[in-house]
């Protein structure tokens, strides 16, 4: 039977009208006046009928209320002066739902225009309850940092004086409390998100105002994270046209200043080159003695494409502070990411429309993020085999069988599979596989992929909106499979508080054995850490110094944060 005929047949059969017989036009076996076939209907039968109808309505309405929730959200100024609006959120699936709009105190309760960034306080309603809670000390530190950003940020006298000092090179100390870290927009979106989080943690540890170079689209993708101020670097900043030209050869880089024995003072700035190809002098950034020198500069310019947080935990200057901020060592990016990165309304619309249309009704959502590091576009058979082997061997997706096993269940469990990939081929094969064959468990498996861009297009706004939306959608899944080495997957797992299954990078176009493994932590991997003992001034394996910093599963020379109890 073809699909058109199936649709015609399904539309031709309508549900019985409760006020008529089984078919339209057939009267019920009693009249409006309580007569049955011309005789009086008995009172007990009438009472029973009313009870049945009442119970049915109760069950139906209960089902509606289980899938919807009414919340009150301010529609103007976060200070509480706006009009309250009751909003229906129909996303809820099975299990407890997170209704804490401040994410455990991470987010400030005032100082924002809610309508300008719908995602900020509605994020919680799209996540199940996540067990990782921010420490009280982190919450206090965030509120103090927000005050610093407001007091010293763009538009303030302190900022204007600091910019004047940068232009003139004077050493006069206008405001000792107002020092700055400028993040330079660079690399792909996943890398940018991870480096902004790294820069923010560093600014938190050193009491610096964080300012973001907006690049092509940072202001188009992310809402302002700090209340009553902006983190965007003003367009008239003196070095705006110079930022993109900084490189490993720049004389202002800290590595070259050390090499050329240039002194550091308040009147000059330091360029921090923390790119994956940085040299040994640039890596001295992570040493205690050099940190004391770097803090003499009022302005720091940072260019990076690496998540360098793990090495901050190895610096004795920051160790005690970091232990107070993050008792759970494997939840650093989880907390910083949910605090900093709120999709703009344009991106939030992409997220919520897709989620509510395709994913919200599933009993379980499995995310599969595929990143292939090949010159050829693919798809590749070995990658497809790896995806199937990983998901089925680990019990994330069911096996397929030739015939249905047992009688059909009245309520089958449904799984939604969310694919993200630059190529459509893997999604199409998995979708066809679960459409053409029944599953061994009787589960209904639906497969979706929001986009397929063909190749990475980091400089296109529309491409990056979709990429950001897909990272966020992956963070809303229940179980997640990611591709090793991919910062796209790192962002999704961290935001979602998910410990993923990592698919190892294939070699010689063969499926790795095993095809994947459950990661030891939801933290991103630092791909190019320094291997240097700053005290003894010699090489050392920085992945074996402390229990909470270990080598990554996907990149053996990389390091990552793990919970200290991880075996």
Q: What is the pLDDT of residue 84?
A: 41
**So what's the pLDDT on residue 2?**
41
The answer to whether the CB of 166 falls within 8 A of the CB of 301 is no
Q: What is the pLDDT of residue 456?
A: 59
Residue 189's closest CA among 466, 376, 396? 466
Q: What secondary structure does DSSP assign to 236-275, as a single string?
A: T-TTTTTGGG--TT-TTBHHHHHHTT----TTSEEEEEE-
Tokens of 521: 């932590």
Q: What is the pLDDT, as a whole number, of residue 6?
A: 35
Alpha carbon 306 to chain centroid, angstroms: 17
Task: Classify burial at 394, counting beta carbons within 10 Å of its beta carbon; exposed 0-12, middle 13-18, buried 19 or more.
Answer: middle
Q: What is the mean pLDDT of each run of 10 residues along the chain (567 residues)?
A: 38 35 32 38 46 44 38 40 42 56 95 95 87 96 98 97 90 78 96 98 98 96 98 97 96 95 84 97 97 95 98 97 98 98 98 97 97 89 98 98 75 94 96 96 96 67 93 98 97 97 96 97 98 93 97 97 82
Please name the residues in contact with 79: beta carbons below 8 A apart, sequence gap of 6 or more.
110, 111
3-state SS, residue 71: strand
Please name the residues in contact with 46: beta carbons below 8 A apart, sequence gap of 6 or more: 34
């Amino acid at each position: 039977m073809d699909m058109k005929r199936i649709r015609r047949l399904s539309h031709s059969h309508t549900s019985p009208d409760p006020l008529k017989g089984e078919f339209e036009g057939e009267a019920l076996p009693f009249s409006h006046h309580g007569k049955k076939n011309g005789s009086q209907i008995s009172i007990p039968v009438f009472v029973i009928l009313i009870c049945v109808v009442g119970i049915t309505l109760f069950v139906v309405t209960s089902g509606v209320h289980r899938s919807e929730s009414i919340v009150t959200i301010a529609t103007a100024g976060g200070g509480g002066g706006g009009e309250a609006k009751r909003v229906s959120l129909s996303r809820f699936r099975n299990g407890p739902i997170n209704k804490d709009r401040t994410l455990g105190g991470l987010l400030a309760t005032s100082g924002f225009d809610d309508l300008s960034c719908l995602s900020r306080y509605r994020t919680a309603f799209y996540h199940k309850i996540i067990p990782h809670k921010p420490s009280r000390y982190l919450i206090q530190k965030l509120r103090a940092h927000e005050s610093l950003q407001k007091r010293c940020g763009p538009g303030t006298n302190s900022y204007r004086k600091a910019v004047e000092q940068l232009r003139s090179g004077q050493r006069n100390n206008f405001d000792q409390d107002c020092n700055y870290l400028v993040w330079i927009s660079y690399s792909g979106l996943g890398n940018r998100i991870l480096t902004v989080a790294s820069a923010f943690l560093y600014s938190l540890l050193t009491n610096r105002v964080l300012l973001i170079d907006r690049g092509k689209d940072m202001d188009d993708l992310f809402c302002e994270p700090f209340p009553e101020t902006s983190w965007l670097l003003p367009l008239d900043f003196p070095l705006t046209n110079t930022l993109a030209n900084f490189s490993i050869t720049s004389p202002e880089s800290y590595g070259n200043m050390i090499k050329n024995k240039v002194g550091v003072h308040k009147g000059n700035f330091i360029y921090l080159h923390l790119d994956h190809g940085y040299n040994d002098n640039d890596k001295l950034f992570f040493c205690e003695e050099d940190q004391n020198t770097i803090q003499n500069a009022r302005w720091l310019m940072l260019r990076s494409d690496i998540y360098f947080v793990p090495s901050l935990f190895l610096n004795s200057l920051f160790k005690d502070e970091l232990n107070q901020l993050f008792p759970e060592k494997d939840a650093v990016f989880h907390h910083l990411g949910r605090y900093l990165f709120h999709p703009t309304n344009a991106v939030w619309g992409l997220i919520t429309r897709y989620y509510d249309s395709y994913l919200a009704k599933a009993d379980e959502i499995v995310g599969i993020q595929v990143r292939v590091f090949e010159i050829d576009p693919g798809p590749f058979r070995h990658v497809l085999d790896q995806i199937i082997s990983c998901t089925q061997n680990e019990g994330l997706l069911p096996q397929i069988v030739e015939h249905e096993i047992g009688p059909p269940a009245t309520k089958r469990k449904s799984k939604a599979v969310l694919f993200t990939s630059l190529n459509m081929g893997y999604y199409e094969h998995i979708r066809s596989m679960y459409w053409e064959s029944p599953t061994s468990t009787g589960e209904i498996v639906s497969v979706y992929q929001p986009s397929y861009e063909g190749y990475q297009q980091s400089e296109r706004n529309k491409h990056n909106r979709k990429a950001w939306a897909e990272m966020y959608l992956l963070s809303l899944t229940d179980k997640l499979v990611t591709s090793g080495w991919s910062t796209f997957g790192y962002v999704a797992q961290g935001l979602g508080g998910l410990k993923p299954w990592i698919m190892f990078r294939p070699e010689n176009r063969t499926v790795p054995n095993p095809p994947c493994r459950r990661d030891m932590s939801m933290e991103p991997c630092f791909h190019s850490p320094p291997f240097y003992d700053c005290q003894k001034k010699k090489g050392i394996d920085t992945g074996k110094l402390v229990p909470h910093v270990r080598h990554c599963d996907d990149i053996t020379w990389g390091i990552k944060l793990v919970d200290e109890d991880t075996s």
